Structure 1
Amino acid sequence: MMNEDGTMAQRRELELFAEKHGIRVGTIADLIHYRNLYDTTIEQIDLKTVNTAFGDFRLHTYKDNISDCVHYALALGDIAEHEPCLVRVQVVNTLRDLFNTTRPGFSDTWSLKDSMQHIAEKGRGVVVLVGQEFNQAEELNQVIHFPDVPPVQRHSNEAGAYRVIGTGSQILRNVGVGKMRLLSSPTRFNAISGFDLEVVEFIEKNT
Structure 2
Amino acid sequence: MELLREASCTLPTNTGDFQLHLFKDRIEDHEHLALVMGDVAHVDKVVTRVHSECITGDIFGCQRCDCQDQLQEAMKIIRRKARGILIYLRQEGRGIGLANKIRAYNLQDQGHDTVEANQQLGFEGDLRKYDIAAQILASLQVKSINLLTNNLDKVQQLTQAGIVINERVPLVIESPIRNRKSLFRIKQQKLGHVFTDLEDSPIVETSPDTFPLVAPSLIYRNSPVPPETVELSNQVATELVNNLGVDLRCILLQGSNMRGDGSIFESDFDFIVILNNKSPHTIEAITKVKQKFPRANFLYISAAEFESYPPNKRLQLFVCRKVHGDFDFGTIPNRKDISNTTISYAVQIKNSIRPLLFEFLEIHNKKQEIVSRAHVCLKRFDDCFLRTYTLMHKDGYPLHRSQLRELTDSESINHILGILDNWYSQTISIKDLYTGLVNADRILHLYLRKYG
TM-score category (smaller protein): 0.5 to 0.7
Gaps of 5+ in 1: 1-39
* Number of the residue aligned with 2:152: 187
Q: Larger % of helix: which?
A: 2
Cα distance change of structure 1 residues 165 and 135 upon mapping to structure 2, 3 Å threshold? closer
Matched, 1:111 2:70: yes
Q: Provide the C-alpha distance between the structure 1 equivalents of 2:58 and 2:79, rounded to a whole number of angstroms.
A: 17
Q: What does 1:171-182 correspond to in 2, within 5 Å?
A: 171-182=136-147
* Number of the residue aligned with 1:34: none
* Number of the residue aligned with 2:132: 167
Q: Provide the C-alpha distance between the structure 1 equivalents of 2:28 and 2:78, rounded to a whole number of angstroms.
A: 29
Cα distance change of structure 1 residues 52 and 169 upon mapping to structure 2, 3 Å threshold? same
The answer (yes or no) to whether the contact 1:110–1:183 under 8 Å persists in 2 is no
Per the normalisation by structure 1, the TM-score is 0.64
Cα distance change of structure 1 residues 45 and 146 upon mapping to structure 2, 3 Å threshold? farther
Q: Give the superposed CA RMSD.
A: 3.4
* Number of the residue aligned with 2:62: 101
* Number of the residue aligned with 2:16: 55
Opposite residue 147 of structure 2, the aligned amino acid is: L
Q: Provide the C-alpha distance between the structure 2 equivalents of 1:42 and 1:95, rounded to a whole number of angstroms.
A: 27
- Give 1:140 shift: 5.0
Q: Provide the C-alpha distance between the structure 2 equivalents of 1:73 and 1:170, rounded to a whole number of angstroms.
A: 11
Matched, 1:77 2:38: yes
- Give 1:165 shift: 1.5
Q: Provide the C-alpha distance between the structure 1 equivalents of 2:151 and 2:101, rounded to a whole number of angstroms.
A: 30
- Give the count of matched residue pairs: 161
Cα distance change of structure 1 residues 146 and 96 upon mapping to structure 2, 3 Å threshold? farther
2:25 equivalent among 61, 64, 85: 64
**How big is each residue's C-alpha offset from its partner over 1:41-80, in whole Å with a ceiling of 9 and x where there is no partner?**
1111101001111111110001111112110000101103
The answer (yes or no) to whether the contact 2:58–2:68 under 8 Å persists in 1 is no
- Give 1:193 shift: 5.2
Q: Provide the C-alpha distance between the structure 2 equivalents of 1:196 and 1:109, rounded to a whole number of angstroms.
A: 28
- Give 1:203 shift: 1.0
The answer (yes or no) to whether the contact 2:159–2:165 under 8 Å persists in 1 is no
**How big is each residue's C-alpha offset from its partner over 1:5-59, in whole Å with a ceiling of 9 and x where there is no partner?**
xxxxxxxxxxxxxxxxxxxxxxxxxxxxxxxxxxx11111101001111111110
Q: Provide the C-alpha distance between the structure 1 equivalents of 2:35 and 2:118, rounded to a whole number of angstroms.
A: 24
Opposite residue 166 of structure 2, the aligned amino acid is: V
Greater Cα offset, 194-203 or 64-73:
194-203
* Number of the residue aligned with 1:200: 166
Cα distance change of structure 1 residues 82 and 63 upon mapping to structure 2, 3 Å threshold? same
Cα distance change of structure 1 residues 141 and 170 upon mapping to structure 2, 3 Å threshold? same
Percent identity over the alignment is: 25
Q: Provide the C-alpha distance between the structure 1 equivalents of 2:149 and 2:157, rounded to a whole number of angstroms.
A: 18
Q: Provide the C-alpha distance between the structure 1 equivalents of 2:52 and 2:127, rounded to a whole number of angstroms.
A: 11
Q: Larger % of strand: which?
A: 1
* Number of the residue aligned with 2:84: 125
Q: Provide the C-alpha distance between the structure 2 equivalents of 1:85 and 1:191, rounded to a whole number of angstroms.
A: 18
**How big is each residue's C-alpha offset from its partner over 1:111-142, in whole Å with a ceiling of 9 and x where there is no partner?**
21111111111111001011137877446546
Cα distance change of structure 1 residues 79 and 116 upon mapping to structure 2, 3 Å threshold? same
Cα distance change of structure 1 residues 135 and 87 upon mapping to structure 2, 3 Å threshold? closer
Cα distance change of structure 1 residues 193 and 185 upon mapping to structure 2, 3 Å threshold? closer
The answer (yes or no) to whether the contact 1:100–1:113 under 8 Å persists in 2 is no
Q: Provide the C-alpha distance between the structure 1 equivalents of 2:69 and 2:28, rounded to a whole number of angstroms.
A: 26
Q: Provide the C-alpha distance between the structure 1 equivalents of 2:108 and 2:39, rounded to a whole number of angstroms.
A: 38
Per the normalisation by structure 2, the TM-score is 0.31
| 1:80 counterpart SS class | coil
| 2:152 counterpart SS class | coil
Cα distance change of structure 1 residues 56 and 191 upon mapping to structure 2, 3 Å threshold? closer
- Give 1:202 shift: 1.1
* Number of the residue aligned with 1:20: none
| 1:115 counterpart SS class | helix
**How big is each residue's C-alpha offset from its partner over 1:125-175, in whole Å with a ceiling of 9 and x where there is no partner?**
001011137877446546x6497463869xx759944xx221000011112
**How big is each residue's C-alpha offset from its partner over 1:174-197, in whole Å with a ceiling of 9 and x where there is no partner?**
122221111012625447456542
